[in-house]
Structure 1
Amino acid sequence: MNRKTLVLPAVVGLLAPVLAGCGASDEAGDGGEPIVVGTTDTFVTTKAFPAPFDPALAYEAASWNILRNTFQTLMALPRSGGEPVPEAASRCGFSDQNNEQYRCTLRSGMKFANGHPLTADDVKFSVDRTLKIKDPNGPVSLLSGVDAVEAPNDRQIVFHLKSPDATFPYKLATPAAAIVDAQVYHGAKLRNGFAVDGSGPYTLRTEERGGQVVSAVFSRNPHYKGGLKLKNDQVEMRFLKNADAMEDALKKGDIDLMTRSMSPEQIGRLERGDTEGVDVVEAPGQEIRYLGFDTDDGTAGRKAVRQAMAEVVDRQALVRDVYDRTAQPLYSIVPSSVGSHVNSFFNKYGDPSPEKARRTLRAAGIDTPVKLRLTYTTDHYGAATAKEFRTLRRQLEASGLFDVSVKGVPWKTFRPAQSDGEYQVYGMGWFPDFPDADNFMDPFFAKNNFLNTPYRNDTIRDRLIPQTRRQTERSAAAAGFEQAQDIVADEVPVLPLWQGKQYVATRDDVTGAEWALSSSSVLQLWELGRETSG
C-alpha cells in the first residue's frame, strides 16, 4: 500500500504532529526485528573534530541525532511540543522571581548504561566540563549564561545564572547539557573517537572503517530511567554514500526508513506512489538556510553590497527551481513557524529588483560588477545545495551587478574554515536547538556566537537579547524580537533564503514515523516500531 502521511502544526511556534489517514499508534509493540535507518550523514574524526559524539564538541543535527538517543538531559521537549518537561530530573524550576536561579532534583536510583551511579555531581561535572573545554565549534554558547553550578547532595542541582534567562529550561533540554559519566570522561579534554557513555534510552556500538563510521547500532539501555517509552529494542543506523543509494536501499528493503538528506526529486517520486510498500511522512520544519558574510571583508563587509544582494535574490524562484515544494521562501532569520516571526526582509526590500539594487550600489559609490565568491559545503545539507548555489550565481549575475564565482568544499574542511573567517560569502543551515526565537538570535548575534562572525550590533547583543530573556511569558518578548529582526534586515549580516519542510520515507510496516523527527529535525529513534499481525 502506498499512502501519504501528513503532519500539521497544532500551534504557532511549536510542532505537534497529527497523523492523517492510516498509521501508527502508541500501542506499537516492543521487540521484534531491529529497525534499520538510512542516512547520508557522515562521521569522521579530524583534527578540528576529533570527538564527533562528545557533548562538549557536537553541535549540529547529525551528531545530535546520536546524542539525543544515548544521553539524558535534565529536561526534554515533550513529544507534541510545548514547554520542556523533566527527563533525568523528577522536577525542575526557577527558585527566584528574576529567573536567575534554577533548581532540579534527579530521579532516584539513576545509573549510566555502564552501571555507574548517576548523581548530581555528574550533572555539575558535565556542565562545568563543556564550559571549561569551551570548544569554538561546540555548543558552549548555550551554557555561557551559567555562572556556577552547585550539587548540595546526590540528587539536587542548582544553577546560578549570570543574568535572567527564561529560556534556560530549553537549553537544559539540548545535548549541550547532556549528562556524561565523570568516571569516564576527562574534565578538561574531549573524548576522542566515537565511544559514548550516557544514561539515555539506548547504548551505542559503532562499526568504523578508516576513521569513519559505517554503521551504528542502538540497543535498549536496561538501566534507563526517564519519561520515554521505547517502541523497539534495537535500531541500526547505516551511513550511505548519497541519497540515490539510500533510496535504492529503501526500495530493496535493506533499510526501513530514510530521512537526511532526501532530494526534492526523491520526495516527489515517493509521494507519487511510484514505489509499492513505501510511505512518506511530511512535517513542517524549522530548518533554515541562509548566506553568511565576513563583515570584515573589503567587499562583503560593505553594507550596500549585502543590501543589493538582498534586493536581487529571488527566493520564490530559488525554492521553485531547486527545491520544488519541499521548502518555502524565508524573509527573516526567524522561521515563520516560530512565534515572534516577522517578514522583515520583504518589508524592507519587497520583490526582487535589480534596479533598486543598482541604485543602492551607486549611492554607496560602489563600482559594478561587484566580484564575489560564494562557498558552500558539498556533503552536509544535501545534494541540491550545489544546484542552489548555481541558481544564486545566475540570479546575481543576471542583474548585471555582480561577477560571482562558486566553490564547493567538504564539511570537514568547510566548517573550520568558515569559523576561522576564510570565506567572503558562505552558505549555512540552522536546525534550531529549541523552538524559540531566542535560538535564532543568540547563536548568530551574541558574543562568542556560533558563526564566529565579526559582525556586532550592540542593540541586539546588549539590550534586546537580555530584554527578551526576562520574559517568562514568551509572547511578551515579541516586540524585542521584531525589532531585532528589522535590524538584521537593514544591516544584512546574514541573508535568509528558505525554510524547509521535513520528510521521512519508510517501509509500510514501520510504525511511529510521524513522531520520528522532532521540531528541531532530530531523530527520535524510540518512537519507531513494527506493525504486528492479529
Structure 2
Amino acid sequence: MNRKTLALAAIAGALTPVLAACGGSDGEGKDGGTVVVGTTDRFTATKEEPAPLDPAYTYDTNAWNLLRQTVQTLMTQPRGDGLPVPEAARSCSFTDKGNERYVCELRDGLKFADGSDVTAADVKYSIERSLGISAETGVASLLNTIDTIETQGTRSIVFHLKTADATFPYKLATPVAGIVNPKKYAKDKLRNGFQVDGSGPYTFKAAVKDNTVTSVTYVRNPLYKGSLKVNNSQVDMRVFEDADAMGSAIEEGDIDVMTRTMSPSQIQKLDTSSDDSVHLVEMPGLEIRYLGFDTHAPTVRTKAVRQAMAQVIDRYALVSKVYGTQADPLYSLVPAGVVGHSNAFFNKYGNPSVDRARGLLNAAGIKTPVKFTLHYTTDHYGTATKQEFEVLRKQLNDSRLFDVTLQGHPWETFRPAEQKGEYDVYGMGWFPDFPDPDNFLAPFLDKNNILGSPYSNTTIQKTLIPQSRRMQDRLEAARSLTRIQDTVAEDVPVLPLWQGKQYIAARDDITGSEYALNSSSVLCLWELSHGVSQ
C-alpha cells in the first residue's frame, strides 16, 4: 500500500517582534549518517552569469537552496513555516512604533567554517556588499529599504530603514542578506565560480565539469552555532540530466531522496504505486507561473492585447491537461493561502470568452490575428513546461484572435535575454523569497523590478506598496494589497496562470522528509536522516 504524506504548512499572516529562536540546540542533532539527495536543478557558470553562487548576485531558488545550507542569515523561517525566527541572531526586533529601526543581537560563539569569529562588522560588511554591488539580477532590491547599518560593539547590529517595512525580518532570512567572510569575498567584486564559505550548518564542496556542477558534498560544520538542528553528518547531492534518470536512481536505491523537479507522471505514479520502498510527500506550495510582457513592445504595447489574452486563456483546461491535481488555476499574483489574496483576474474577466476578447480588441482598433512569439525556458521548470506552452499556444490560436509561435531556450540564455528585453511575451515562474503578499507584488511592480519590465505605476510604487509595508498585522494591509491586484488585472503587465504544490520522494528509512521543503521552496537538508523503516 502506497504511503503518501501530506505536510501542512502555516502561512504567516502577521509580523511581530521575535526575541528568541525555536527548535534548535545550537545546531546539535543526532548523527543520521550520509543522506544522498537527487535533483535536476542545473548550476552553470557562464560568461553572462559567472558568479552563480555569490549571495550578492544570485536570485534563483535553485542556487539559493545551495546557499542556505552553508551561508548563515540573521533570521530564518522555522520548521513548518510561520514567522521568521533568529538564526545567527540571538534576538531581533523593531525598536520603534514606525517599523523603521530594527535591531539584532548576535549569538555567542559564532564562527565561520575556517574558525574566524563572526562579528557585527561582518554582518554589516556582507549586507552593504550586496547593496554596493547591486547586481543586475535585482536581488539587492530586497534590501532597498535599508538606509544605514550601524554596529554597536561586536554583537549588535542596528538597521535604520528609509521607510516602514514590516516584511524586513523575512528579508533578513534570504541569502542576499547572508553573512560572508570578508577574507573570501571582496567588497566590490563578485566571487566567480562555485566556492561558498560561511558559518551555516554545512561546509560546501562542488564537483564541476564543463563549468557545470555535477554533485555537491555537504559536511556538517562542527563550528556551527544557530537555531537549526542538524540530523545528519553529510548530504551528497547528485545532479541528474532529467527526471527519469533521477527516478530510476531512487528506485534502485542509489539515492535516498528525490527533490526538484519530478515530472507530473512520476508524481502520479508514486501516488498510486503499491511499492512501499519509496513514499511521496505532498506539501502546500506558493510557486506560481505567469506570462510576462515587454509592455513597450509594439505587439503587446496596447493594453487591450494583454487583456484579450487574459480573457481567452482557460486556466482550468491548462492545469487539468498538463498538471492534473498537482496545480490549481491562479487569478492573481498573490497565491491562495497567503493573506491578502484576491481573485482579481476572475473578478474582472470571469470565465474564458473569445467573444469578449474580440470585443476588447475591436474597441481598441487592433487588427487580428495578433502575431507574436511566446518564449519559454526548456530546462528550468520541469519536463512539463514544453507541453504547458503548447497548450497555451493552442488556446490562443484556436481563438483566431492570435497567431502565436513558440520558441524554447535553455535557462542560461533565456534569463539574460529576458532581462535585456529581447522577448515581447515570455513564460516565467516565481518561488517566493518569503511567504508574504509583498513578495508576490513588489518584485514585479516596484522600481528596478526583477523582470526588467518597463511597466511603471506611480500609485503602486509610491503609495500602495509603502502603505502595505507599514502594517505589521498583514490583515490590516489587505485594502492596499487588493488595490494593487485589481490594478494588475486591469493593466496586465503580468498574467498569472497557476499555483503549484510541492513534492519530495524518499526511501522508506528516511526521516524528516515532511519538513525538507517549506512553502517558499526552501530546501532544509538538515532535517533529513536515516531512521527506522515505518
In the alignment, structure 1 segments of 5+ residues that lack a partner are: 15-25
SS at match of 2:187: coil
Structure-2 residue corresponding to 1:449: 449
Letter in 2 for 1:517: L
Counterpart residue number, 2:210? 210
Distance, in Å, in 2 between the alignment partners of 1:533 and 1:348 is 51
CA contact (8 A) 2:33 2:529 kept: no
Q: Secondary structure at the match of 1:337?
A: coil
Is the CA contact (8 Å cut-off) linking 1:71 and 1:199 kept in structure 2?
yes
Give the whole-Å Cα distance in 1 for the aligned partners of 2:161 and 2:477.
Answer: 19
In the other structure, the counterpart of 2:181 is 181
**Which TM-score applies when normalising by structure 1?**
0.96
* Residue equivalent to 2:31: 31
Change (3 A) 1:11 1:431: closer
Would the aligned equivalents of 2:12 and 2:436 in 1 still touch at CA under 8 Å?
A: no
Cα distance in 2, alignment partners of residues 107 and 30 from structure 1: 22
**Displacement after TM superposition at 1:254 (Å):** 0.7
SS at match of 1:70: coil
Q: Deviations over 1:192-227 (max 9, x none)?
A: 111111000000111111111100011100110000
Deviation readout 1:113-160 (Å, 9 max, x if unpaired): 111110001100001100111001141010111111111211011111
Pair 1:388-2:388 in alignment: yes
In the alignment, is the contact (CA less than 8 A) between 1:29 and 1:529 conserved in 2?
Answer: no
1:411-430 alignment to 2 at 5 Å? 411-430=411-430
- Alignment partners' CA distance in 2, 1:169 and 1:125: 18
Distance 1:514 1:139 in 2: 29
1:299 offset after TM fit, Å?
A: 1.4
Aligned positions, number? 522
Distance change (3 Å), C-alpha of 1:105 and 1:365: same
Q: Distance in 2 between matches of 1:269 and 1:48?
A: 39
Q: Distance in 2 between matches of 1:48 and 1:526?
A: 32
| 1:166-192 deviation per Cα after TM superposition (whole angstroms, max 9, x unaligned) | 110110011110000012110001001
Query: Which residue does 2:280 correspond to in 1?
Result: 280
- Structure 2 residue identity aligned to 1:398: D
| Paired position in structure 2 for 1:234 | 234
Match of 1:22 in 2: none
C-alpha distance in 2, partners of 1:13/1:273?
A: 37
Q: Shift in Å at residue 526 of structure 1?
A: 0.4
Counterpart amino acid of 2:98? N
Letter in 2 for 1:115: G
SS at 1:126 equivalent: helix
Counterpart residue number, 1:335: 335
Equivalent AA in structure 2 for residue 446 of structure 1? D
Q: Is the 8 A contact 2:311 2:353 kept in 1?
A: yes
- Structure 2 matches for 1:215-364, cutoff 5 A? 215-364=215-364
Which residue number in structure 2 is paired with residue 162 of structure 1?
162
Change (3 A) 1:48 1:496: same
Distance 1:274 1:29, change over 3 A: farther
CA distance in 2, matches of 1:520, 1:301: 33
| CA contact 1:251–1:275 (8 Å) conserved in 2 | no
Q: Is the counterpart of residue 123 in structure 1 residue 141 in structure 2?
A: no
Q: How far is 1:328 from its partner?
A: 0.3
Runs of at least 5 residues in structure 2 that lack an aligned partner in the other structure: 15-24
The answer to whether the 8 A contact 2:442-2:449 is kept is yes
**2: CA distance, partners of 1:237 / 1:501:** 22
Q: 2:256 is matched by which residue type in structure 1?
A: D
CA distance in structure 2 between the partners assigned to 1:182 and 1:105 by the alignment: 20
* Offset of residue 532 of structure 1: 3.8
- Is the 8 Å Cα contact of residues 138 and 449 (structure 2) preserved in structure 1? no
Alignment match, 2:99: 99
> What residue number does 1:136 align with?
136
1:516–1:32 distance in 2 versus 1, CA, 3 Å: closer
On the 8 A contact 2:138/2:448 being kept in 1, the answer is: no
The separation in 2 between residues aligned to 1:138 and 1:525, in whole angstroms, is 27
* Contact kept in structure 2, 1:76 and 1:85, CA below 8 Å: yes
Contact 1:56 1:138 in 2 (8 A): no
TM-score, reference length from structure 2: 0.96
| Cα contact 2:232–2:528 (8 A) shared by 1 | yes
Q: Who is 1:366 aligned against? A: 366
Give the drift of 1:276: 4.1
Runs of 4+ deviating beyond 2 Å: 8-14, 28-33
- After superposition, the Cα gap between the structure-2 partners of 1:489 and 1:311, relative to the gap in structure 1 and judged at 3 Å, is same
Q: Name 2:21's counterpart in structure 1.
A: none
| 1:164–1:469 contact (8 Å) kept in structure 2 | yes
